[in-house]
Amino acid sequence: MTFEIFISQFFGGLSVAMLLFLVASGLTLIFGVAKVFNFAHGSFYMLGAYFSYQAISMFENFWIGAVAAALGAGLVGMLLEICFIRRIAGREEEGAFQILLTYAFILILDDAVKYIWGPAYKTISKPDSLAGSLDFGQVTIPTFNLFIIVLGLVIVVAAWYVLSRTKTGKIIQAASTDTQMVGMLGVNVSLVMSLVFGVATAMGGLAGAMAAPLRTVAPGSGVEVIIDSLIVVVIGGLGNFWGALFAALLIGEVNAFGILWMPQWASLLSFAVMIVVLIFKPKGLFSREKGRKKI
Amino acid sequence: MKTKLTEMAPWLAYFVIFVSMIFAGSDHSIHVASQIIILGLFAIAFNVLFGTTGLLSFGQAIFYGLGAYITGMMAKSFGADFFLWALLIAPVAALALSAVLGVLSLRLSEVYFTMLTLAFAQLAWGICVKWSSFTGGDDGIQAIPKPDILNMGGRNYYIFALVIVSICIYLLWRLDRSPFGSVLKGIRQNPIRISFIGLNVFRHKLFAYMISSSFTAIAGGLYAGIDKSIHPDMLVWTMSGSIILMTILGGMRSFFGPLIGVAVFILLEDVIGRSTEYWSFVIGIIMITVVLLFPKGIVGVSRHFAGLFAKKGGQFDNP
């Protein structure tokens, strides 16, 4: 392997990893921090891509599309939380019903998208300002990929700062740990949960808009990303944004180099990585608590 | 434990419905009924883990696929007579595989267990798709031979499957009501207490996992005979996922709930799929309605109404 190939594979893996992290960050917020199993997170990613497609075809501006994707997916997410998810909170089998409910969202959103925009693939082009590429000697890297890498870093720092350095972050963490107690302290817990759900789905929608120029926009694309993002969230440790970032990098790079090494089996590497991680670190890479049950 | 009359009622309904299908059904309804009983066995076996022991495995499709591929490949390479032998070998193979996977994955708690089972199943699915010289790859295996007596129309095979499924369900039912079943329910509700009374929680979980997996393999093997074809989709995660959904939809706290969930789901798919292109939209709406209005699944609804007439309800979950 020459140095040029190494560098270009490395940056290829890096931008795949950052896309993965963008989707997974919303999931780690909702699943790891707020403890809601949102199986439909990938569908908000898909929804974001379609909202962005719609906005771009109306206003012909990529950035308006990105804003529309985040706002639209966030609003739909909040609406679904208020109408449905909130109503099963506190039930005896809450987790199982969350799976059932959010799986129903997948089915409904997939078909709704197919009904509104048709089953055909849609494409979004990169914004003009980021359409070029940068030359580093013999290696060229598309500007848009660099932008995604920077965006991922901004999100991880922002999420870490808000969650662990501000009062809002403390309230969010406490609200899922001891709902009743936080409620007694005068916090409107259900509003907090709706907002967290909205922010998480907005992050999913934004990821969809950002991924759209690199992939295609199609119904059912949400189901493809949900498993990958679950892997990232679990390897990184639930609710750990830095962990998710590391896990996304690991998966992205393993895939990028794996495809050179054994092209046929590359798609299985993510699962192999997860198996190895979970066997040796039963609660993900960055968990302080001991994962094995003491019994 | 003495069997009460009320506990026999579901069995009565089971036999009335599925035996009458033999005489009343058209070819299409026999085909649908075969799918219902086979997936029903899968779901009931899955619920030994999920509803009874409280272990959410997202990878039971690995054993379903294992059973199907063992049956399909043996019958294909050694001849039709081996179809029946394969149905015996499949659960044994599943027992061995589940012992290994169980030891690795049951140490993990909750969602990590779920994700590890998912990863194993996805890995197996990937191998199944890519190793095409051995497994037939994406196309799966077609024209699986089975003994002549099972070949005449779908009806004979339905009767054969019904007999095997009924025996399996009966065994699982006895297991559910046995002291072992009570320990499993105890593990779900309070694992620490179970360990305090001197029982090995891990070992009981492992046995539950192995038992569930071997019955799942039987279901997979039986499925290989319906259309005489199997495909890697039987191992993919959406297979495990739909079994989870059907189980919750039917009611995971009752023994027959998963079977009812399977029947409702397959019938809906069959009926709605013929009338509209957007059938998954309709199924989604129905699932949301069930979740919001009937918190105990479909079985919960019927129990609610049964409770208006009888004093004691929910007899299945009482240890």
Instruction: Give the DSSP letter string of B133-177.
Output: HHH-GGG-B------GGGTSHHHHHHHHHHHHHHHHHHHHHHHHH
Whether pLDDT at A39 is above 90: no
Q: Which of A56-70, B55-69, B196-210, B231-245 has the lowest mean pLDDT?
A: B231-245
Question: What is the total count of domains within chain A?
Answer: 1
Angstrom distance (rounded) from CA A49 to CA A34 = 25
| Per-residue pLDDT at B194 | 92
Positive or negative torsion for Cα B87, B93, B99, B104: negative
Per the CB < 8 A criterion, the answer to whether B209 and B62 are in contact is: no
- From the CA of A49, how many Å to the nearest CA of chain B? 20
Angstrom distance (rounded) from CA A232 to CA A209 = 20
Which letter does DSSP use for residue B234 in this model?
Answer: G
Whether pLDDT at A90 is above 80: no
| Per-residue pLDDT at A288 | 53
Q: Which of A95, A100, A234 sits opposite B249 (nearest CB)?
A: A100
Whether pLDDT at B301 is above 80: no
What pLDDT, in 10s, does the model give residues B122-166?
Answer: 899 988 888 877 877 778 888 788 777 777 677 888 999 999 999
Please indicate, yes or no, if residue A286 is contained in any of the structural domains. Answer: no
| Per-residue pLDDT at A219 | 84
List beta partners, residue A141: A134
Angstrom distance (rounded) from CA A77 to CA B28 = 41
Per the CB < 8 A criterion, the answer to whether B48 and B211 are in contact is: yes
Yes or no, beta carbons of B288 and A104 under 8 Å apart:
yes
Please indicate, yes or no, if residue A120 is contained in any of the structural domains. Answer: yes
Whether pLDDT at B64 is above 90: yes
Angstrom distance (rounded) from CA A135 to CA A11 = 13
| Per-residue pLDDT at A16 | 87
| A295 confidence band (pLDDT: 50, 70, 90) | very low
Q: For residues B204-242, b (16+ Cβ closer than 10 Å) or e, as one string?
A: bbbbbbbbbbbbbbbbbbbbbbbebbbbbebbbbebbbb
Angstrom distance (rounded) from CA B49 to CA B53 = 5
- From the CA of A18, how many Å to the nearest CA of chain B? 22
| A63 confidence band (pLDDT: 50, 70, 90) | very high
Stretch 3-22 of chain B: residues touching chain A, C-beta under 8 Å: none
Whether pLDDT at A292 is above 80: no
How many alpha carbons lie under 13 Å from residue B95 in its C-beta half-sphere? 7
| Per-residue pLDDT at A121 | 87
Whether pLDDT at B88 is above 70: yes
Yes or no, beta carbons of A278 and B249 under 8 Å apart:
no
Structure tokens at B28: 């299409």
Q: Give the distance, in angstroms, between the CA of residue B262 and the centroid of all CA atoms in the same chain.
A: 9
Angstrom distance (rounded) from CA B289 to CA B153 = 38
Per the CB < 8 A criterion, the answer to whether A41 and A231 are in contact is: no
- From the CA of B220, how many Å to the nearest CA of chain A? 23
Structure tokens at A91: 């039930």
Please indicate, yes or no, if residue A99 is contained in any of the structural domains. Answer: yes
Phi/psi for B27 (5° steps) reads: -60, -40
Whether pLDDT at B73 is above 70: yes
Q: Could you tell me which chain A residue has the CA closest to the CA of B284?
A: A104
| Per-residue pLDDT at A234 | 87
| Per-residue pLDDT at A44 | 95
**Which chain A positions have a beta carbon within 8 Å of B251's beta carbon?**
none
Whether pLDDT at B306 is above 80: no
Angstrom distance (rounded) from CA A76 to CA B291 = 19
Angstrom distance (rounded) from CA A211 to CA B160 = 51
pTM exceeding 0.90? no
Structure tokens at B147: 């003994």
Q: Does B293 touch chain A (CB under 8 A)?
A: no
Residue A292 exposed, middle or buried by CB count within 10 Å (0-12, 13-18, 19+): exposed
Residue carrying the six token digits 């999931």: A27
Yes or no, beta carbons of B292 and A88 under 8 Å apart:
yes
| CATH assignment of the domain containing A10 | 1.10.3470
Q: What is the mean pLDDT of chain B?
A: 86
Of all residues in chain A, the percent with pLDDT exceeding 90 is 30
What pLDDT, in 10s, does the model give residues A197-220?
Answer: 999 999 999 999 999 888 888 888
Q: What is the mean pLDDT of chain A?
A: 86
Whether pLDDT at B39 is above 80: yes
Q: Which of B116, B119, B130 sits opposite A265 (nearest CB)?
A: B130
Yes or no, beta carbons of A107 and B283 under 8 Å apart:
yes
Yes or no, beta carbons of B195 and A282 under 8 Å apart:
no
ipTM surpasses cut 0.90: no
| A129 confidence band (pLDDT: 50, 70, 90) | confident
Which domain does A146 fall in, by range? 3-280
Which residues, including other chains, have CB under 8 Å from residue A169's CB and lie 6 or more apart?
Answer: A162, A163
**Which chain B positions have a beta carbon within 8 Å of A291's beta carbon?**
107-109, 112
| Per-residue pLDDT at B26 | 82
Cα torsion A105, B271, B64, B71 to 10°: value is -160
- From the CA of B43, how many Å to the nearest CA of chain A? 15
Residue A7 exposed, middle or buried by CB count within 10 Å (0-12, 13-18, 19+): middle
